[in-house]
Amino acid sequence: MMLTRRAFGLTTLGLAVSATLAACSSTSQDGATEEGKMALIVSDAGEAASEELTKAVEAFTKETKVEVDVKTVSDVSQELARGITASPSVDVVVLNPAQLSSYAGSLHVWDKGSPAVKDAHPALLTSATRQGRISAAPKDVSTLALFINTSLWQAAGLSESDYPTTWEQLGQVAATLTSDGVVGLALDASYARVGAFMIQGGGGLTSADGTQATASSEGSVAGLTQVKNLLSAGSAGWGADLSAGSAADAFGEGQAAMVVESEALVKTLADVYSGVSYTVVELPAGSGGKGTLQFPTFYGVVEASKHKDDAIKLVEYLTAAERQVALATAASTVPAGKPAGETWKGKHADQAAFLVGVEYSQAVPSAAGVSDVIATFDNELPGLAGGDPAGILGSAQVNLQAILS
């Protein structure tokens, strides 16, 4: 199960923090930002992430004397809808790709040489680009990798040399690991997991930049067919069909020997399923090479902000390598920048697969209206074992073309 995330509260700063600093930056949930302060809008990412962001913003305030109100909101999109006006109440916002697609036209455009974006992974800059412009600065990212229960692995007579690097090898080890009460591989029936196979085939619902429908491409069909074959063979199963109720929980409870998940599962395993011995490796390559999905977040600066220059400075400060590492570690994500990523990898060598995957990752399509197409696609996945991958993807192609054309 995923952990319940607590809302931001006023961080207890301790006696070492001066009253002056506490007055210069604050963390709030409701109410208007005080006159003269910048407003940084974020969604709740958990207590550790909240405290680390507050710490970084306070350090920025101490260094620059610029006051910042960190506001945690339950609905960033709603806050943006009412906060981006001719006289905006939002200065900086942490966005997901769908929110960026909706509000890119109201955000500052970043030059590739800007300190906030120049070190970002190219795949993340692609995801931050709307209509040919870098509309936000990459903050951090989650990717998908393959979790392996090492106890079940060894019990099946497998060794490290058997970690799968191809679809064929994945099918073989999944079959070997499948036994009474244990399925070799668990997946959740969603594009946010299955889409990785389509990218490995050389496809995906859309092109990497999200502008062209590629759902019915040969690579997409190959990827979805690979998933069908695993399901039909009985060596893979949908998480919802297992008694645990989800792929992640099935892995934690020993009902699945492998699972395709993000680094968020690392924290869940530590907090909820601490008895599980596991390792994390890159997803196997498919007929089109390596591929995985990315789930990034971005810093957006509101173009009409009265504090635009200071807002840009804040984002540049937060995207400095050492702060990226600290913020990503607290949020159980990977830093967006290459130098920061290398430092992060030195501290999280056992999670290196997530970082390596950034290079060949693609984001889940986020253009307006695409979420409905993905929802329809997801609804058809439970019947994939006896279904027609080409037919499912053909329908998605028609709907995506209507949206993106």
Q: What is the pLDDT of residue 29?
A: 54
36 in helix, strand or coil?
coil
CB 95 within 8 A of CB 360: no
Low-confidence ranges of the chain (pLDDT < 70): 1-35
Alpha helix ranges (H) inside 257-366: 264-271, 308-318, 321-331, 338-347, 352-358
Tell me how far apart the alpha carbons of residues 208 and 219 are, in angstroms, rounded to a whole number: 13
pLDDT at 84: 83
Residue partners of 206: CB distance under 8 A and separation at least 6: 212, 213, 214, 215, 365, 367, 370, 400, 404
**Pairing relationship of beta strands 133-134 and 129-130 according to DSSP bridges:** antiparallel
Evaluated on CA atoms 274, 277, 281, 286, the torsion sign reads: negative
- 174: number of CA atoms within 13 Å, CB side? 28
Q: What amino acid is encoded at 72 in this protein?
A: T
Beta strand pairing call for 292-301 and 183-187: unpaired
User: Among residues 346, 390, 318, which one has the least CA distance to residue 93?
Assistant: 318
Instruction: Look at residue 1 in the predicted model and tell me its pLDDT.
Output: 39
The class of domain 19-142+295-355 in CATH terms is alpha beta
Q: What size, in residues, is the chain?
A: 405
89 Cβ partners below 8 Å, 6+ apart?
32, 33, 39, 82, 83
pLDDT at 44: 86
Could you give the CA distance from residue 262 to residue 123 in angstroms, rounded to a whole number?
17
Q: What pLDDT is recorded for position 18? A: 34
**How many angstroms separate the CA atoms of 233 and 214, rounded?**
27
pLDDT score recorded for residue 33: 55
Look up residue 265 and give its amino acid. Answer: L
Q: Which two tokens stand for residue 132?
A: 């040919």
pLDDT at 85: 75
Consecutive H or E run containing 165: none
Cβ atoms within 10 Å, residue 266: 19
Nearest to 354 by CA among 159, 97, 147, 94: 147
CATH number of 143-293+364-404: 3.40.190.10
Burial class (CB in 10 A: 0-12, 13-18, 19+), 113: exposed
On average, the pLDDT of the chain sits at 91
What pLDDT does 399 receive? 97
Query: What confidence tens digit (pLDDT) does each residue in 196-224 have?
Result: 999 999 999 999 999 999 999 999 999 99
Residues of the chain with CATH 3.40.190.10: 19-142+295-355, 143-293+364-404
Q: Which two tokens stand for residue 339?
A: 């130098």
Give the model's pLDDT for residue 405.
87
Under 8 Å between Cβ of 126 and 298: no
Q: Provide the 10 A C-beta neighbour count for residue 29.
A: 14
